[in-house]
Amino acid sequence: MNRLKKFFMIGLIGMIPMNGYALTKNETIYTNLDETGKVIQSSVTNHLFIKDKNIFEDDTELKNILNINGNETFSLDQNMIKWDANGKDIFYQGTTEKEQPIDVEIEYYLNDKKLNVKDMIGKKGKVKLIFNFKNKEMTEFDLGGKAETVYTPFVVTTGMILDNQYNHNIEVENGKWVDSGSRSFVIGLATPGLYESFHIDGFQKLNTITVSYDTSKFSFGTMYMVATPKILEEKDLEVFDKLDQLHSNMGTLKSSMDQIEDGVKQLKTGSASLSEGATQIHSHLMTALNSITQLKEGSISLTRGLDTIVDSLSQVKVNLQNKNISGSITQLQTLKAENNHAISKIVGQTGMNFETLKSVYEANQLQNYTGSDPSLLALKQAYELSYLFMVNNQAIDETVTALTGISNEIDQLLTTLNGAVIQLQGGSKTISDGLTSLEAGVKQLSSGTYSLMIGSHDLYSGVVTLGDGITKVNQDGINPLYEYSRKIYSYSGKAREMANLSKNYHGYATRSADNTMFVYMVKSVK
């Protein structure tokens, strides 16, 4: 056994999960390839670990079965083989014409020109060997109602030895090389099917191994390859549990943001009604003031003027009691409560309080952060959205205070004015004094309603700005993060399915192997 073969067999032993229990089975497929990777012949060797059991049955698809390590006898009935084991381990070998799960293609280049390897023997130049692997073991499964395809996760290890007397400047893509003095050991790793399962650009090169070096005298020695599907365990997928929880939390956040966006749209409608109502109140008061002025100037009769004033003040009272004002105050208070709930929920999902979140935001200078780190983006969005809600709550508090004060003031003034009008109509005061008092009151009331009108217009403008901001955060921040979490969720589902394929891979020419390994040998070319 030469050094490379010894080196590889040591690696193989390390890759086989040894099982101390009785009645376990290791399957090894040995395949000879020509220099292009085409299968010449193959055989399968099974090792049955038997303890304290004389008669043992095993399933197999092999033909030409031969006991290669003892004299134990067997009988074959269709695909079931019965061994008279006498408590000893069984090593048996057979053949099959079954197609293998991995295709191998080897390409040879000298000075960037593709050649037949036989035409390169003894020549000098820049050598490049490309090993292409194609995984044909695919499975379709359902992921969230969508059909997805994944491949059994084989890992292929390729090994070769280069004589340092003639070869130097070695480079390996998807592998390593070790200089032992007179020789260099070259090892490459490929995972065919990983790109086809996930469609991640970074995985595309993992279907190939490329070895490049300078040679003064090219020779082609024996090469070995090993493939095994037992590379993923369920414990390796624990990280995806956290990613699944992130996807769930992002779904909750997206739903909450959609509700907030709908709530702001409703507030926008309410604030528009409030603005319109305040404008109507101010308009009616100006009509009343004009009527009073006309009365003082004698342009209209006293009776007609008083009727107009009474009608205008009555309309003002109706508008003041209308839900456009009182209902809007309630809506603003409800919005503040919803904002506080949203702030608590958004900040809570970061696992911090607002002051800690603010410190992290300022320490990492996230105000101008344009990177793609999902964690930093989530913290940036959480702080900026929470701050936006806090500023909005301050505006709501100021507006509610102003509306309440103005509403109470207007109500008191209306009561006073109403008494003044009654006194005018009853003749308790002189017309001149009544009109003067009434004019002064209406002017004061008009000034208050003008402030209400301007404030309601500003509130509407603020709500529009808030709505635009929330929509932008939802569209540019929350929705892309949610879509990203959906993609990660898809990856975790595929990874779990691949782990199941690895766990449940029970053989190439059998259905009961605990471990299966494919060993390929490419013979030297003279």
497 and 399 in a common domain:
yes
User: Mean pLDDT, the chain, as a whole number?
Assistant: 79
- The position carrying tokens 């369920």 is 234
516 and 422 in a common domain:
no
Q: Is 143 left (phi over 0), alpha (psi -120 to 50) or beta?
A: beta
The count of domains in the chain is 2
Helix pair 354-363, 374-426: axis angle to 10 deg:
120
277 and 401 in a common domain:
yes
407 and 325 Cβ atoms separated by less than 8 Å: yes
With respect to residue 46, please indicate whether it lies within any of the assigned structural domains.
Answer: yes
Distance CA 156, CA 209 (A): 10
Distance CA 24, CA 466 (A): 67
The secondary element (H helix, E strand) that includes residue 177 is strand 175-179
The secondary element (H helix, E strand) that includes residue 303 is helix 302-321
* pLDDT for the residue numbered 1: 40
Q: Please write the tens of the pLDDT for every residue from 273-304.
A: 767 777 877 787 778 777 777 766 664 555 66
322 and 204 in a common domain:
no
The encoded tokens of residue 5 equal 């073969």
**More confident of the two residues 311 and 137:** 137
Q: What share of the chain is helix, strand, coil (3-state, %, to 5)?
A: 50, 25, 25
- The position carrying tokens 């030895």 is 161
With respect to residue 449, please indicate whether it lies within any of the assigned structural domains.
Answer: yes
| 74-77: strand order across its sheet | 55-59, 80-84, 74-77
pTM of the model: 0.55
Q: What is the CATH number of the domain that holds 474?
A: 1.20.120
Residue type for 387, please? Answer: Y
217 and 128 in a common domain:
yes
- Contacts of residue 492, defined as CB under 8 A and 6 or more positions apart, other chains included, come to 237, 240, 243, 244
* pLDDT for the residue numbered 21: 38
Q: What does 34-103 look like in DSSP terms, one character per residue? A: -TTS-EEEEEEEEEEE--S-SEEEEE---EEEEE-SS---EEEETTEEEEE-TT--EEEEEE--PPPSEE
With respect to residue 357, please indicate whether it lies within any of the assigned structural domains.
Answer: no
53 and 172 in a common domain:
yes
* pLDDT for the residue numbered 422: 67
436 and 289 in a common domain:
yes
Tell the burial category of 327 from Cβ atoms under 10 Å away from its Cβ (0-12, 13-18, 19+). middle
With respect to residue 376, please indicate whether it lies within any of the assigned structural domains.
Answer: no
Residue 215 banded pLDDT, cuts 50, 70, 90: very high
With respect to residue 482, please indicate whether it lies within any of the assigned structural domains.
Answer: yes
Query: Would the pLDDT of 102 be above 60?
Result: yes
473 and 510 in a common domain:
no
Distances (CA, A) of 94 to 9, 55, 354, 513: 21, 20, 69, 15
Among 57-61, 270-274, 415-419, 460-464, which range has the highest average pLDDT? 57-61
Percentage with pLDDT > 70 across the chain: 72
119 and 217 in a common domain:
yes
The secondary element (H helix, E strand) that includes residue 187 is strand 183-190
172 and 134 Cβ atoms separated by less than 8 Å: no
DSSP 8-state class, residue 475: I
DSSP 8-state class, residue 513: -
Q: Which of 206, 225, 212 is nearest to 130 (CA)?
A: 212
262 and 115 in a common domain:
no
Q: Please write the tens of the pLDDT for every residue from 147-201.
A: 899 999 999 999 999 999 999 999 999 999 999 889 999 999 999 998 998 888 8
Domain residues for the domain of 186 are: 1-230+505-526
* pLDDT for the residue numbered 9: 41
Q: Is 186 helix (H, G, I), strand (E, B) or coil?
A: strand
Pairing of strands 24-33, 515-522: parallel
* pLDDT for the residue numbered 213: 97
Percentage with pLDDT > 90 across the chain: 33
With respect to residue 362, please indicate whether it lies within any of the assigned structural domains.
Answer: no
516 and 402 in a common domain:
no
297 and 325 in a common domain:
yes
With respect to residue 443, please indicate whether it lies within any of the assigned structural domains.
Answer: yes
Residue 526 banded pLDDT, cuts 50, 70, 90: confident
